[in-house]
Amino acid sequence: MKKVLIIGCGLLGSSLVRTIAKKKIAKKIFIYEKSKLNITKIKKLRLPGKIIESLREGVDNSDLIIFCTPMSEYKALILKINKFISPKTLITDIGSSKIESSKIIKKFLKKGIQWTRSHPIAGSEVSGPEFGKDNMFNNKWCILIKDKKTNLKNLKFLNTFWKKIGSKTVIMNSEKHDKIFSITSHLPHLVAYNLVKSAQDFEKKQKFNLIQYSAGGLRDFSRIAASNEIMWRDIFFDNKNNLIKAIDLFIKNLKGFKKDINYKNNKSILKKLIKTKKVRSKIIKLKQDIDAPDFGRSN
């Protein structure tokens, strides 16, 4: 590839810059970033890409443009690049939900311009280019979206691209993608935020200092609940329909546990607690985590 443009150079955008440069996947890397703070950081980090102020400079003759911004910024950016983008350039993104954002893309992107969607499953609770790294996507899943109108040549191109990056790729449609991630990612994040909010409410009402005793469980949720709020608001809103179904299922099950506890229904609760343990073994077998015990992280 001759030229790639990364729009939005935070945690994942900067990781792409680093990986593309390290693996020599493109000859030239351009970076478009609207945050002045991030630009200062990128300069200080000497990331191997050219920071541009005019989008046109990055878009012109690009082989690939990767949107790495929160999804709520897609529309304004699309309206800008429509003016000079060529049908020869392929656009992709790393957004965590697909159905609603695809509607925005379809509605606002100039006809004839190609955008095929990706979702690398990588990240952390931290934001910003200083936390990016060149092995961020290594051996991680990258979902490629294939809907009815998806161009197969583009899909193949992206498949090769993400494999070069180091990802394992898998192809599915938007609908299946958004359903799966409503359960494996979006609901867990919402639940973590909600748990921390409940602890805050409790602390305020009881006037206890309880956060210092968070090592028994709350600590781990607070890490997830420290994730970027703009990104997560966008995901929650974008995958609204699936997420609301997931919330309803979660509340129904929690009420089931509440009943078990209230009536000390030993058989029912043990059956559930034993069954959920099995998922853990599956996750380790699938190499999504390691089996070494975790006693909490310490210095």
Residues 190-219 that bind a second copy (CB under 8 A): 190-203, 206, 208, 210-219
Please give the single-letter amino acid code of residue 34. Answer: K
Q: Which of residues 167-186 bind a second copy (CB under 8 A)?
A: 176, 179-181, 183-186
CB of residue 105 vs a second copy: minimum separation in angstroms? 19
260 vs 196: CA distance, rounded Å: 24
CB of residue 106 vs a second copy: minimum separation in angstroms? 19
CB of residue 63 vs a second copy: minimum separation in angstroms? 28
Q: Which of residues 119-138 bind a second copy (CB under 8 A)?
A: 121-126, 131, 133, 136
Q: Binding string, 93-112, against a second copy, x = CB under 8 A?
A: ---x----------------
Nearest CA to 66 among 118, 26, 144?
118
41 vs 16: CA distance, rounded Å: 16
Within its chain, how far is the Cα of 189 from the centroid?
11
Encoded tokens for 119: 């979702």
Taking the least distance from each CB to a second copy, the nearer of 111 and 275 is 275
143 vs 258: CA distance, rounded Å: 36
Taking the least distance from each CB to a second copy, the nearer of 6 and 196 is 196
DSSP string, 2-15: -EEEEE--SHHHHH
Within its chain, how far is the Cα of 93 from the centroid?
10
209 vs 200: CA distance, rounded Å: 10
Q: Which of residues 229-258 bind a second copy (CB under 8 A)?
A: 229-230, 232-233, 236-237, 240, 243-244, 246-247, 249-251, 253-255, 257-258
Residue among 21, 35, 141, 164 that touches a second copy (CB under 8 A): 141
CB of residue 59 vs a second copy: minimum separation in angstroms? 29
